[in-house]
Amino acid sequence: MADAEKLGSESNQTTPRNLDTQIRSSIPDDEADLEKSDLTTTKAVLPTVEAVNDDPNVVDWDGPDDPEKPINWTAFKKWKNIFVISSLTLLTPFASSMFAPAIPSVMRDFNANSVALGAFVVSVYVLGYAFGPLIIGPMSELYGRLWVYHINTALFVIFNIACGFAQDLNTEIVLRFFAGFAGVAPMTVGSGTIADLFKQEERGKVMSAWTLPILLGPTLGPVAGSYISEALGWRWDFYTLSIAAAVMFVIAIALQDETYAITLLQRKAKKLRKETGNEKLQSALKPAKKPTDLFWSSIVRPTKMLFLSPIIFGLSLYIAVCYGYMYLVFTTITELFEKQYGIAHGNVGLTFLGIGVGQFLGLFVFGGMSDRSLKAQAKKNGGEMKPEYRLPPLVWGGIAMPAGLLVYGWSAEYTVHWIVPIIGTTIVGGAMILIFMPIGTYLVDAYTRYAASAMAANTVLRSVGGAVLPLAGPKMFHALGYGWGNTLLAGIAVLMLPIVFVFLRYGERIRTHPRFQLDL
């Protein structure tokens, strides 16, 4: 026993008193708080850890204030990592729409004339978003965040370079799909990184900084893409993007850190085994399952969360429809402003900025009220910070979305002054932020331990909406016109609005009901 105590002293580790202490000292303080009121979080955390009791061979954090614990890192170190993932997150959705203004040139070069196929070349990238998270999200919870970021950034660069060299439309479509598959990594894992680094009451502004590029990227992409393709040809859209992504890859290697507590404790245990020669040392968060079983359960987890949790499915379905609307607007803007308003091809990308302005306005509204509203509601309810307190801004977004579609559609139908349809797209952009941000922040707060998998489930359905709905756009607007076409979309959005009020009022009851607790 003396030898064991000596080894514990030499390795500078704190021997945990019991399993509960091990768990709670190894996860963020806010996650431990969530366990008190969130059955989903409790069930998600406990089964993943192997009980080790009072064992001097268990490697844990050196107390709750251990500076090596990600939640205790300095503000500079935390925000350095947020800067990297936000920059990576900007590039990948940027690529989703950067290609859109060049589609007529691409179709001419490849001797194709199908309007639907032209739209699919753009949206197939977003379809890659739908499949990537099913692998990428769980991998980040199995092997840590850092290598998932690095490997997928490298693949993103490779596939975009290949897109620039494609010699036929089929090859272009396949390469675009895989570029989207790899590019979705920062959008999938970013929420997990934020959960690793920040307490619940701090996440609102951080989620704003990280989420804005997800929506701003598709807006800025056509602006840059229209000028690049006009001056250098459409292939340079991909080359320019690849150069920018390669630069960010180098920066990420230099600046980015691993933030996942389980991976960091495993590294600490491995280091101590090497230093002390004691092969019995193990992480306090050692997985209870075999690696193979853990791999498959991690892969299946997002699918289970999507289809077995009413909360995740309902909110994901709602955001999928709204996200699809945004991409549907993207696919119509170029044709509308070139043909009906006579704007030159090189300048038509500027008309996408209306959505970007709306997103900035929505971001300021959300950033100003989210954390403040959370704390105010918690104060009224005995200090308990429930994830449902993130949802009120969603009501305003749900109302603004159909309003923006109506303004855009009917002003385009009667060719009202060009600023009016752009105002409509501005409202749509602001609405998208007020829908996207509360849902994303809510999922991180409600499923902290498995935030990456929860967001992966959300991204799957959202991306299907973003990929499929734009394909119906050309035929729908040809049959109904911009006015009635957008009225149909607005009507569907209004019919889905009750989802928001149901989860706002009954979300906690549904989320914590024993029937909907998942064995993850």
Give residue-wise pLDDT tens across range 315-373.
999 999 998 898 788 778 878 898 889 888 778 778 888 888 898 888 888 877 766 77
Q: What is the mean pLDDT of the chain?
A: 81
Over 90: is that where the pLDDT of 301 sits? no
Residues 6+ apart with CB under 8 A from 103: 118, 119, 121, 122, 334
Q: What is the mean pLDDT of residues 401-406?
A: 96
Distance set, CA 182 to CA 145, 186, 256, 414 (Å): 14, 9, 18, 42
Instruction: Please report how many Cα atoms fall inside a 13 Å half-sphere around the Cα of residue 195, on the Cβ side.
Output: 31
Over 80: is that where the pLDDT of 195 sits? yes
pLDDT of residue 520: 61
pLDDT of residue 145: 92
In contact, 344 and 351? CB cutoff 8 Å: no
Query: Which tokens go with 214?
Result: 């997800």
Structure confidence at residue 498 as a pLDDT band (50, 70, 90): very high
Structure confidence at residue 32 as a pLDDT band (50, 70, 90): very low
State whether residue 293 is helix, strand or coil: helix
pLDDT of residue 54: 60
Q: Which of 190, 195, 278, 316 is nearest to 9 (CA)?
A: 278
Structure confidence at residue 3 as a pLDDT band (50, 70, 90): very low
pLDDT of residue 308: 87
The position carrying tokens 């701003």 is 216
Spatial separation of the C-alpha atoms in residues 290 and 21, rounded to whole Å: 24
The one-letter code for the residue type at 13 is: Q
Residues 6+ apart with CB under 8 A from 286: 49, 50, 52, 266
Q: Which CATH superfamily is domain 73-255+294-515 in?
A: MFS general substrate transporter like domains (1.20.1250.20)
The position carrying tokens 């797209």 is 425
Strand partners, 287: 49
Distance set, CA 369 to CA 420, 434, 508 (Å): 28, 11, 21
Express as a percent the part of the chain with pLDDT over 70. 87
pLDDT of residue 156: 96
pTM beyond 0.85: no
In which residue ranges of the chain is CATH 1.20.1250.20 found? Answer: 73-255+294-515
Cα-Cα-Cα-Cα dihedral sign, residues 99, 101, 105, 110: positive
Structure confidence at residue 425 as a pLDDT band (50, 70, 90): very high
Integer Rg of the chain from CA:
24
pLDDT of residue 28: 39
pLDDT tens digits, one per residue of 212-252: 787 678 778 888 888 888 889 899 999 999 999 999 999 99
